[in-house]
Structure 1
Amino acid sequence: MTITLKLATSLDARIATASGESRWITGAASREQVHRLRAAHDAVVVGIETALADDPELTVRLPGYMGRQPARVVLDSRQRLSAGCKLVATARETPTYVVTTGAPDPALVDAGVRVIGVPATDAARPHLKSVVQALAAEGLSNLFVEGGGQVAGSFLRHGLVDAIEWFRAPIVIGGEGRPAIGDLAVAALAGAPHFRRVEVTQLGDDLWERYARVA
């Protein structure tokens, strides 16, 4: 199992303004590279808040691309994903999974969504290690986690992130903006997740930084 976290942020690690505006923080070259990274993974993973706010397709959209599309995975404990959203509407064309903590919603199942039940945490969210195990059982062992901040923080907090692909735009949003990474419960620096930078590339005005977890 390999899990990569993708971040597309301002210089101060914000993914949206306080009002939720996020399109587009990074430039076209960065967004194109994200599509290439998606193509290299088995599945793209997002949280329900990102799915509801952005109504994303989470597909590889590159000129002339004819390769395999990654599966789309939404962490959605209460199955709030709408039957009319793009992910559900295209579930029969591109494999789409909802990971929940309850019984499958018949409307999602009828639309072709694969609903997977896992145990809940004390906060009533899907237990992440169980999520990873369940996805591996589906043949999805190379995951590309795209957000949002709560999901990013949860994967980091549980020590599940092997690599980070960080696209950083030369703008500053400020403390009222929405953070790229949620709470980590770090009490001391020694307990913080550690990564080493392995590559830095300029993409237009953005920087693409690649990190690997320090064992």
Structure 2
Amino acid sequence: MPTSGDRRWLAAAAALAERARPLSRPNPGVGAIIVSDGAVVGRGWTQPGGRPHAEAVALDHAGDAARGGTLYVTLEPCAHRSERGPACADRVAGAGLARAVVGVRDPDPRTSGRGLQRLRDAGMAVELADESACRASLAGFLCQKELGRPHVTLKLGMSLDGCIALASGESRWITGPEARAHVHRERARADAILVGGGTFRADLPLLDVRLPGLEHRSPVRFVLTRGELPEGWTALPNPAAIGEMAEIQHLFVEGGAQAAAAFLAAERVDRLLIYRAPILIGAGRLGVGDIGLTDLGAAHGRWRMVDRRMLGSDTLDVYERLRCSPE
């Protein structure tokens, strides 16, 4: 059984994996740490474009110091060779490591369980932890493999009374600069970003990343509409169509109210970011439209809060959905 120390190392590997997102696409962002005698001797994360993999980077970093050590890796090492390189399980098996602790089994049938067995066949002690921090870091990849669609984050920026704009439509700025900077960070972590057709026509948003040094991380842009769009934009006819988004693991939905309602009603939202400003608007435009709820009891038990923090004078609440739906 993995120890509490093992889980801490896996959490550290999951934090490293964040550096790969979203640049590692179409491959998942994986983190790996090699520990020997209680000290880190190697670490790595999936590189841009998906190669080299995290394990290869960590082994190159460690060199001979890897012998006799323990590999902590967020995802089961791949067991299949490809035209882009050898299987990581083969590389790890030949590195002289004594032990491997794996955060999540790979759902890809080409690897699932085979990577772990290859390490065991090489004489390594292998533990599968099913670690929550690793699952969270691999949410986009796991959604694609298990549900056939990207992982969806819905962002809502609103007043204390749930409004996103005045009745006239004026909405700049409800939240402060710290919250807006955090939104740009979330954009930089997404493969694609989406707004509703009404928001697109009213605001013509850029939906780019405006943080110094991260401008190149602006995601692919989608609009929830069936109409014609200018160059650089792609139409998505309905939330169910996200299953057709190839090589996209993380979709960031920025609204407005009808797009938010459509994704919630279709049960295609996995994560909620609610930025709440300390203001009251009253009789303004609500952040979410009708989601078709007819039984109040059905609204309970769907979400759990996983984080709350202050961003300047604003509050960010983060919720995860307890049940996810496939395409």
**TM beyond 0.5:** yes
Whole-Å separation in 2 of the counterparts to 1:159 and 1:64 = 35
1:149 is matched with 257
Output the TM-score relative to the length of structure 1.
0.76
1:13 is matched with 162
1:24 is matched with 173
Partner secondary structure for residue 159 of structure 1? coil
1:45 is matched with 194
Give the unaligned 5+ runs of structure 1. 100-125
The correspondence of residues 119-130 of structure 1 with structure 2, limited to 5 A, is: 126-129=237-240
2:311 is matched with 203
The higher radius of gyration belongs to 2
Q: Deviations over 1:162-201 (max 9, x none)?
A: 0001100011111x21111110111112322621111111
Partner secondary structure for residue 62 of structure 1? coil
Q: How many residues align?
A: 173
Contact 2:227/2:235 (8 A) holds in 1: no
Specify the code of the residue in structure 1 equivalent to 2:155: K
Give the unaligned 5+ runs of structure 2. 1-149
Distance of aligned partners of 1:141 and 1:64 in 2 relative to their CA distance in 1, 3 Å threshold = closer
Deviation of the 1:69 alpha carbon: 2.0
1:62 is matched with 211
Higher RCO structure (Cα 8 Å, ≥6 apart): 1
Deviating runs (4+, > 3 A) in structure 1? none
The correspondence of residues 47-126 of structure 1 with structure 2, limited to 5 A, is: 47-79=196-228, 81=229, 83=230, 88=231, 91=232, 96-99=233-236, 126=237
Q: Deviations over 1:27-85 (max 9, x none)?
A: 00000000000011110110111111111110111023254321010112233x4x4xx
2:57 is matched with none
2:269 is matched with 161
The correspondence of residues 122-141 of structure 1 with structure 2, limited to 5 A, is: 126-129=237-240, 131-135=241-245, 137=246, 139-141=247-249
Percent of aligned positions with the same letter in both sequences? Answer: 45
RMSD between aligned alpha carbons?
Answer: 1.4
Partner secondary structure for residue 206 of structure 2? coil
Say which structure is richer in helix: 2
